[in-house]
């Protein structure tokens, strides 16, 4: 069982391949402090998602280790690990039900007030309020009635309610209108605040705001620094 974490992360001599004989990550070493935002950038196939796959233990590592608050993640239960890591992937998962239910999915014990509060923090409250039944408006799996940007804001609110110490954000590349884009940008800052975050970054604003940028190439960190330094 992983006790409640603060969010310190360390990759120690991690070498990993999906198949034997083919190393995708090569002797990766880095430490991330509590509350830091790390932006991963790099070409397609460089290994960004693979790093995330190891942190969430979608695959086990046989060379090296991943530590959270100094604890090797291979020694804890998957459930206790994953409930403390919030993952926001490009395709936001919307299920059939009300908008409120979709946000509450992050914490089934949340009150109506808490749902609304989370929506406000991520700038979703305005558009939800304008929908025909507000928070009770029904949406379906394909998230129709919701734009790509709005779906992202819903998933941000959901993540806030689940309140993970570590956050993974695979930024969407889908084009959204300028107005929603600005909201998503501000909402991203609000969600990352106070958490250790790993962002597979596509937005320049996210890269600029990151504490450190790690440039991944061919399974290695080839450059590290802030936006100004690089
Ligand atoms: P992108 O920007 O396109 O998302 P990425 O940096 O996230 O790229 P990864 O998905 O980490 O790249 O892939 C790194 C390498 O690992 C690639 O060569 C890819 O083909 C390979 N790879 C990724 N997932 C698997 C898998 N499940 N099985 C086998 N090989 C994989
Ligand atoms: Mg990827």
**What's the confidence (pLDDT) of residue 143?**
61
Residue 219 Cα: closest atom of ligand 1: 14
Q: Whose CA is nearest to atom 10 of ligand 1?
A: 49
**What's the confidence (pLDDT) of residue 175?**
65
Report the distance separating Cα 67 and Cα 46, nearest Å: 22
Segments making up each domain of the chain, as ranges: 1-84+166-173+196-230, 91-163
Whether 201 and 168 have beta carbons less than 8 Å apart is answered as no
**What's the confidence (pLDDT) of residue 6?**
96
Tell whether ligand 1 has an atom less than 6 A from the beta carbon of residue 28.
Answer: no
**What's the confidence (pLDDT) of residue 47?**
96
CA-based nearest residue to 7, from 40, 31, 39, 41: 31
Residue 52 Cα: closest atom of ligand 1: 11
Tell whether ligand 1 has an atom less than 6 A from the beta carbon of residue 15.
Answer: no
Tell whether ligand 1 has an atom less than 6 A from the beta carbon of residue 45.
Answer: yes
- Candidate of 18, 22, 42, 60 to mutate for ligand 1, largest count of ligand atoms within 8 Å of Cβ: 18
Topology agreement, domain 1-84+166-173+196-230 and domain 91-163 = yes
Span 91-163: which CATH code? Answer: 3.40.50.300
The ipTM is: 0.98
In the sheet that holds 220-225, the strands lie side by side as 85-88, 166-170, 196-200, 37-41, 212-217, 220-225
Cα separations (Å) of 57 from 61, 66, 79, 175, 199? 8, 9, 11, 30, 17
Tell whether ligand 1 has an atom less than 6 A from the beta carbon of residue 50.
Answer: yes
Tell whether ligand 1 has an atom less than 6 A from the beta carbon of residue 139.
Answer: no
| Single pTM value for the model | 0.92
Whether 88 and 170 have beta carbons less than 8 Å apart is answered as yes
Span 1-84+166-173+196-230: which CATH code? Answer: 3.40.50.300
pLDDT tens track of the chain, all 230 residues?
A: 999 999 999 999 999 999 988 999 999 999 999 999 999 999 999 999 999 999 999 999 989 999 999 999 999 999 999 999 999 987 788 999 999 999 999 899 999 999 999 999 999 999 999 999 999 999 987 767 888 889 999 999 999 999 999 999 988 776 677 888 888 889 999 999 999 999 998 888 889 999 999 999 999 999 999 988 88
């Amino acid at each position: 069982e992983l006790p409640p974490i603060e969010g310190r992360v360390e990759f120690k001599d991690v070498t990993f391949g999906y198949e034997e004989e083919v190393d995708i990550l090569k002797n990766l070493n880095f430490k991330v402090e509590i509350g830091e935002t790390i932006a991963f950038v790099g070409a397609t196939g460089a290994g960004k998602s693979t790093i995330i796959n190891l942190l969430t233990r979608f695959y086990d590592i046989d060379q090296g280790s991943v530590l959270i608050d100094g604890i090797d993640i291979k020694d804890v239960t998957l459930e206790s690990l994953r409930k403390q890591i919030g993952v926001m992937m490009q395709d936001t998962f919307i299920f059939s039900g009300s908008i409120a239910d979709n946000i509450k999915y992050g914490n089934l014990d949340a009150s109506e007030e808490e749902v609304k509060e989370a929506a406000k923090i991520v700038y979703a409250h305005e558009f939800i309020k304008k929908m025909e039944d507000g928070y009770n408006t029904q949406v379906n799996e394909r998230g129709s009635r919701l734009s790509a940007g709005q779906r992202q804001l819903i998933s941000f609110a959901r993540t806030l309610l689940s309140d993970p110490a570590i956050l993974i954000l695979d930024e969407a590349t889908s084009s959204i209108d300028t107005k929603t884009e600005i909201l998503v940008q501000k909402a991203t800052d609000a969600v990352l605040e106070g958490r250790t975050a790993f962002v597979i970054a596509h937005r320049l604003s996210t890269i600029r705001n990151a504490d450190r940028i790690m440039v991944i190439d061919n399974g290695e960190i080839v450059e590290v620094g802030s936006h100004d330094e690089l």
